[in-house]
Structure 1
Amino acid sequence: MKARIEKKLSKRLVELLPSVYRNAWRDQEQSELAYDQGSSVRHVLSVGGGLDYWGEGQDAYTVWEDWQLNWCWHRTFEYYPIGHRFEGYPNTEGFRPTTINLLKLAAQCEQTSKGYP
């Protein structure tokens, strides 16, 4: 994926999920993807970073990276049953995490959090 696409997807996710990404901030530096591609894309919406209780730096991720890592926890997927090797984790079998499916899921998550069916 190109860095400019990641920037647009991050912006779109903040629009779709304002309750989840209300603390998103514009990173003045290049994203990791932009740096790897030698691109000059900057000001990508990001989350995380800052300092923890002990003054150690925390990792910052673009909004798109964060959504790709955590999408399964934002939807009410059925959980694996007791005794299964993935017990307690969401059962996401049959869901393909493509870009379009992840954007649709984000829109559904915000509607569900507002009380819509």
Structure 2
Amino acid sequence: MKARIEKKLSKRLLEIAPSQFHGAWIDKGEPTELAYEQGTRVSHIWSVGGGVDYWGEGCDAYTVWEIWKMNWCWHGPFEVYPGGHRHEGYPNTEGFRPTTINLLKLAADCERSHKEAHK
């Protein structure tokens, strides 16, 4: 994926599912890891994380798209594997293809569910 696409996907995710990305901010500093690897100068990408933790140690910052790709399975309507299964307690995502379109639709569905739950 190109870094400019990552930037657009991060912005789109924040538009369709803002409640999923509390504390998102525009990273005006360093290029993302993807932009750095590609040798591009893409900047001003919506990101989450960063800063320092309780002990004053630096925390990693991720683009909104990166964090969604790492954590989407925990936000979907997936049932957990039953007790005794080797993946016990983890979401059963069998049958879900994590394509870009499917991940964007999942984010929109999660946002819709979040709004309905907080009415």
Give TM-score scaled by structure 2 length: 0.94
Structure with a larger share of its residues in helix: 2
Q: Offset at 1:76?
A: 2.3
After superposition, what is the alpha-carbon deviation per residue over 1:57-100, rounded to whole angstroms, capped at 9, x for unaligned? 00110000000000001122111011101010000000010101
Give the share of equivalent positions with the same residue, in percent. 72
Give the Cα separation in 2 of the matches to 1:52 and 1:40: 29
Alignment check: 8 A CA contact 1:21 1:47 kept: yes
Q: Report what 1:106 is aligned to.
A: 107
What does residue 27 of structure 1 align with? 27
Stretches of 4+ moved more than 4 A in 1?
none
Matching residue of 1:59: 60
Q: Distance in 2 between matches of 1:107 and 1:99?
A: 12
**CA distance in structure 2 between the partners assigned to 1:53 and 1:115 by the alignment:** 34
Task: Please report the TM-score for the alignment, with normalisation by the length of structure 1.
Answer: 0.96
Aligned to 2:77: 76
Alpha-carbon distance between aligned partners in 1 of 2:104 and 2:19, rounded to the nearest angstrom: 15
Deviation (angstroms), 1:107 = 0.6
Larger CA deviation: 107-116 vs 5-14: 107-116
Deviation at 1:111, TM superposition (A): 0.6
Q: CA deviation at 1:16?
A: 1.0
Aligned length: 116
Query: Which of 1 and 2 has higher RCO (CA within 8 Å, sep 6+)?
Result: 2
Aligned to 1:11: 11
